[in-house]
């Protein structure tokens, strides 16, 4: 038996689609059946729990879930000790540095302030470039921070770019690509090798089919 944690919401929907295409019975998680339940059977040998992205990583890192599906954004921020086994190729977007339109971020000598829901990603990015910035953690709608004058720029997820555009902001530079990843607990991968091989084999075929 493998216990997997799936990130609730958009990733959950795609992950279930991929599991179904891999031949797993995901009917317990049908929208009209699942109600408020959080733990489900997917066929004979997989149990699925639904959780928030950061919690998916916590459950997998602690080994109470063997594997999970989560966005690379949350993985990069968590800096957890889990194995990243497969890029599932969905949930594609990117981290970008963005700010008020028409400004050159690196102009001037003043100390820059960056607002982000992802302070670790932001610090790592600027540290690697030897640029000293102050990072302010914001929990949502981070686009407000430069508009209100709290920060010079933001590091955030950009998918279509419409949120930035609607708020008079633009991408200054790309920080990192993002997509959904299959992760595993480092001990479970060894102890349940056959179960992982079987599931990964099926998921790899589904991923390859979607790339055709």
Question: In whole angstroms, what is the distance from residue 193 CA to residue 200 CA?
Answer: 10
Q: Does 160 bind ligand PRP (CB under 6 A)?
A: yes
Stretch that binds ligand PRP, among 12-20, 39-47, 106-114, 150-158 (CB under 6 A): 150-158
Contacts of 104 by beta carbon, 8 Å cutoff, 6+ apart: none
Residue 37, token pair as written in the block = 């339940």
Site for ligand PRP in 109-128 (CB under 6 A): none
Contact 81, 61 (CB under 8 A): yes
Can you tell me the distance from the alpha carbon of 123 to that of 47, in angstroms, rounded to the nearest whole number? 36
Q: Which of 141, 173, 190, 197 binds ligand PRP (CB under 6 A)?
A: 141
With respect to ligand PRP, which residue has the nearer C-beta, 110 or 160?
160
Q: Which is nearer to ligand PRP, 85 or 171 (CB)?
A: 171
Q: Shortest gap between Cβ of 143 and ligand PRP (angstroms)?
A: 6
The β-bridge relationship of strands 169-178 and 93-100 is antiparallel
**Which position among 35, 102, 130, 140 is part of the footprint of ligand PRP (CB under 6 A)?**
140
- Tokens found for residue 204: 């790899």
Contact residues for ligand PRP, defined by CB under 6 A: 140-141, 156-163
């Amino acid at each position: 038996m493998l216990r997997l944690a799936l990130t609730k919401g958009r990733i959950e929907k795609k992950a279930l689609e991929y599991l179904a295409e891999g031949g797993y019975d995901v009917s317990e998680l049908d929208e009209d059946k699942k109600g408020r339940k959080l733990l489900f059977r997917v066929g004979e040998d997989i149990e699925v729990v639904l959780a928030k992205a950061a919690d998916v990583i916590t459950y997998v890192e602690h080994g109470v879930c063997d594997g999970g599906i989560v966005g690379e954004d949350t993985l990069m921020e968590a800096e957890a000790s889990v194995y990243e086994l497969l890029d599932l190729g969905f949930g594609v977007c990117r981290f970008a540095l963005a700010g008020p339109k028409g400004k050159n971020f690196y102009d001037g000598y003043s100390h820059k302030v960056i607002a982000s829901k992802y302070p670790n990603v932001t610090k790592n990015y600027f540290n690697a470039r030897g640029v000293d910035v102050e990072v302010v953690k914001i929990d949502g709608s981070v686009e407000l921070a430069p508009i209100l004058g709290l920060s010079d720029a933001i590091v955030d997820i950009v998918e279509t770019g419409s949120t930035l555009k609607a708020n008079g902001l633009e991408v200054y530079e790309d920080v990192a690509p993002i997509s959904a990843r299959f992760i595993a607990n480092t001990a479970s991968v060894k102890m349940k090798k056959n179960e992982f091989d079987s599931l990964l084999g099926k998921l790899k075929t589904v991923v390859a089919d979607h790339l055709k």
